[in-house]
Amino acid sequence: MRKATTALVGLAGIVTLSASWATGLAPKHSAVTGVHILSSAKAGTPVAAAPPKPSGSSKTSRAAKTSSGSATSAAAKKAPAAPRSGTVDGAVVGTQYGSVQVRVSFTGSKITNVHALQLTDSSRTSVSISAGAAPTLRQEALAAQSAQIDVVSGATYTSEAYQQSLQSAIDAAHLG
């Protein structure tokens, strides 16, 4: 029973260390900037291998030799970092018809989704205009992969506020 407990404690330590190392790649001060980044690691997903240990020996193994016979360092064979992914809330942008705010989801440097958290709502007319413009603005943002999108005719205030909120989210996530 004691060996099983020791093995579980040791495994838990390795998992904790690996998770700490993996999450160390995300920004640390998200609350200050309003950035909400979610880790791409999920329960049951394999965690990236630990970084290679520094070699204290001058001996070169066969596995560390290239086809030309020259030695390569362990640091040069470092595994690439897993792409980061998450969501970022853009700034709340006020207009005379209400506020607009978007949430951007991303993987690596690619915007994978844009969701309107708030759209203008000062009247039934502004709600209707925003609701009609939102799918077009989302589609434009995904196609452009930026906030450089066209204004939707008849929804100028909503479109401009959407662009501003989108740009703030892109800036906060360092996507552009």
How far is residue 163 from each of residues 89, 91, 137, measured CA to CA in Å?
13, 10, 9
Domain parsing of the chain, residue ranges: 85-172
Q: What is the pLDDT of residues 128-172, one digit of tens each?
A: 999 999 999 999 999 999 999 999 999 999 999 999 999 999 999
For the record, the structure tokens of 64 come out as 């560390």
The pLDDT of residue 74 is 54
The pLDDT of residue 161 is 98
Q: What is the pLDDT of residues 28-51, one digit of tens each?
A: 333 333 433 333 333 333 333 344
Query: Which pTM does this prediction carry?
Result: 0.56
Q: What is the pLDDT of residues 53-106, one digit of tens each?
A: 444 444 444 444 444 444 555 555 666 666 799 999 999 999 999 999 999 999
Average pLDDT on 25-30 reads: 35
**Is the pLDDT at 14 greater than 50, yes or no?**
no
Average pLDDT on 18-32 reads: 36
CA distance 82 to 147: 26
Look at residues 76, 75, 78, 27 and name the one whose alpha carbon lies nearest to residue 48.
78
60-83 burial code (b ≥16 CB/10 A, e <16): eeeeeeeeeeeeeeeeeeeeeeee
Q: What is the pLDDT of residues 115-127, one digit of tens each?
A: 999 999 999 999 9
CATH architecture of the domain with range 85-172: Alpha-Beta Complex (3.90)
